[in-house]
Amino acid sequence: DIVLTQSPVLAVSLGQRATISCRASQSVSISSINLMHWYQQKPGQQPKLLIYRASNLASGIPARFSGSGSGTDFTLTIDPVQADDIAAYYCQQSRESPTFGGGTKLELK
Amino acid sequence: QIQLVQSGPELKKPGESLKISCKASGYTFTDYAMQWVKQAPGKGLQYMGWINTQTGKPTYADDFKERFVFSLETSASTAYLQINNLKNEDTATYFCARGPGVMDAWGQGASVTVSS
């Protein structure tokens, strides 16, 4: 299985930039297509797709969210962070049998 | 709009079985796979596997190859997750999600509590 590693917690101030990283144990890219996706989950709710294939904004997601990366290293950026963005964020790969990262909880500093 | 609506919370005893439903609407059911994800209390997301909605063939992740069964009722645009011989560690919220690969729509989750 491809293991995805995320930092458990990231503390940020409102209006600042948040950078959430995800590292894969092996490449999740095929022919320049990066099969990494990002989700937001608030307490008591289902996850919501934010970014698909590393850098594509899902429908209805604000432009302050962006994604980048390739191979084994990926980043979700939120700029600027708003109060509504306080949540857990998960990366997920679909290069092989899907796996999720452990999640990063975004907290206020 | 695309919706996945799951069945309600369940309270079961160890050794019992249950079946969770996931009813899809707003799209052609057989155009997309259905995936299942487990979230234990206070924990992260764990991929359980998926079912091909055209052929009915299920594929299970390694941790879910025993006691777990994915099925369909295509005429009702509904997918099911059955868990047999329930154990305390099955206590979790179970999500269905449209796929394959990227999960672009999710059910609201079905809470399962297993306790004697």
Those residues with Cβ within 8 angstroms of residue B112's Cβ, 6 or more apart along the chain or in another chain: B9, B10, B12, B18, B20, B83, B86, B90, B91, B92, B93, B94
Those residues with Cβ within 8 angstroms of residue B79's Cβ, 6 or more apart along the chain or in another chain: B21, B22, B24, B34, B51, B53, B70, B71, B72, B96
Q: Does A103 touch chain B (CB under 8 A)?
A: yes
Using a CB-CB distance cutoff of 8 angstroms, which residues of chain B are in contact with residue A49?
102-105
What is the DSSP secondary-structure string of A66-84? Answer: EEEEETTEEEEEESS--GG
Q: Once rounded to an integer, what is the mean pLDDT over residues B3-32?
A: 98
Chain B closest-CA separation from residue A86 CA (Å): 16
What tens digit of pLDDT does each residue of B50-63 get? 999 999 999 999 99
Ranges of beta strands (E only) in A3-102 are 4-5, 9-12, 18-24, 29-30, 33-34, 36-41, 48-52, 56-57, 65-70, 73-78, 88-93, 99-100
Cβ distance of B102 and A101 shorter than 8 Å: no
Predicted confidence band at A94 (pLDDT cuts at 50, 70, 90)? very high
At residue A106, the pLDDT reads 98
What tens digit of pLDDT does each residue of B22-47 get? 999 999 999 999 999 999 999 999 99
At residue B84, the pLDDT reads 98
Q: What is the mean pLDDT of chain B?
A: 98
Site of tokens 């306080």: A86
What tens digit of pLDDT does each residue of A17-66 get? 999 999 999 999 999 899 999 999 999 999 999 999 999 999 999 999 99
At residue B34, the pLDDT reads 98
Cβ distance of A90 and B61 shorter than 8 Å: no
Cβ distance of A97 and B108 shorter than 8 Å: no
The dihedral region occupied by A53, where left means phi > 0, alpha psi between -120 and 50, and beta the remainder, is: left
Distance of CA A24 to the CA centre of its chain: 12
Cβ distance of B103 and A35 shorter than 8 Å: no
